[in-house]
Structure 1
């Protein structure tokens, strides 16, 4: 019988790998495709699984200290069509085909918030939902960027830009208008960086 309290001892996990077989695109959409993939388990089971084929995503955390010395984030408010609600998020977007994620992040920061320059730190990247999505989401911290231009939004994009004290975001993220899960991941990466540089939260 398995032991649910067993500790990770670096055991091999190869028996958990399913080998990929035939792959068929069953839906092509404007922001993602849906594919059907046949896979076989190590014990011989064969089944078809749905895979969302999506582009890479980027999220930028613009951090600055205001004239009073308060650490703040630049954030955007926008209507999200999936939840049909207004959410408050860090600037974010999609990596264009062949584009480097960092280049995409800085492009989104300029397009959405009119910000350029500053010090950039790559915080990491994760699979946003490994159960059925095949893309990755990249996160960057940009410190003390300068306001250089107006917005350059996509045709159907509409958002307001504002600054929020870091302390308020730490308190409220995951509730109310701060309920976008990708933003929670972004804050995790920020907190890990702030563990090395505590002044980011002060």
Structure 2
């Protein structure tokens, strides 16, 4: 059987020491580097790292007039999958920008909304196997429409209000096919465990 005696304990024997790092590709949205690393048992190899700006995802929550909890979401074409996906407003943190400021900026640019309250739900590595950036997730409440969209040159988004329960039932399938949004929903459900009113109809 597997040894559970050290679960959550000392993991120093798993750490690899970093050596020479070299940038082999510089692109508009990410760079690629190689890094030489050596394990504690003496193995040495070259690995790939993708350096990308940090990301933000914003979950705009409100309660409809009939008491149903809703999310504001956007539909857009994604060039990696060549499909249209439904997502929470999201984007990159610009150099020197605070992630919270970036989140509210992306919300305003993509939807025209401002929020009365903001809470950081979590901050994780989107793919620790080879990516070096972090992804931040914010719940915003008390949203109100204050402007039209202010999109980047190559952005084209449709904005929708979607019942929270519909998002929960469909996330990870069909148009809800962006894995980062699954992470966002996981953080939301953890928050809803503490605040059941986020899921309840009134």
TM-score, length basis structure 1? 0.97
- CA distance, structure 2, for counterparts of residue 5 and residue 174 of structure 1: 33
Q: Distance in 2 between matches of 1:166 and 1:10?
A: 34
1:110-149 alignment runs, 5 A limit: 110-149=108-147
Match of 1:189 among 180, 187, 190: 187
Which residue of 50, 60, 63 maps to 1:62? 60
1:195–1:42 CA distance, 2 compared to 1 (3 A): same
**Does the Cα contact within 8 Å between 1:20 and 1:38 map onto a contact in 2?**
yes
> Which residue of 167, 170, 193 corresponds with 1:169?
167
Q: Helix, strand or coil: the match of 2:175?
A: helix
Cross-structure match for 1:179:
177
The separation in 1 between residues aligned to 2:102 and 2:112, in whole angstroms, is: 14
* Shift, 1:119, TM fit: 1.1
2:9 is the counterpart of 1:11: yes
Aligned partners of 1:146 and 1:50: how far apart in 2? 43
Would you say the 8 A contact 1:65–1:144 is kept in 2? no
SS at match of 2:13: helix
- Aligned residues of 1:60 and 1:105 also touching (Cα < 8 A): yes
- Call closer, same or farther: CA 1:10–1:82 in 2, change over 3 Å: closer
| C-alpha displacement of 1:4 | 2.1
1:92-139 residue CA offsets vs partner (Å, 9 max, x unmatched)? 000000000000000000000000122111101000000000000000
Aligned to 1:51: 49
Q: Which residue does 2:69 correspond to in 1?
A: 71
Unaligned runs of 5+ in 2: none
Aligned residues: 200
CA positional deviation for 1:12: 1.2
Quote the offset at 1:142 in angstroms: 0.2
Distance 1:7 1:69 in 2: 49
The residue aligned with 2:100 is: 102
Q: 1:84 to 1:7 in 2, by over 3 A?
A: farther
Q: CA deviation at 1:199?
A: 0.6
Residues 197 and 27 (structure 1 numbering): CA distance in 2 closer, same or farther, change over 3 Å?
same
Shift of 1:8: 4.7
2:88 corresponds to 1:90: yes
Describe the SS at the equivalent of 2:9. coil
SS of corresponding position for 1:52: strand
Q: Quote the Cα distance in structure 1 between the aligned partners of 2:117 and 2:8.
A: 38
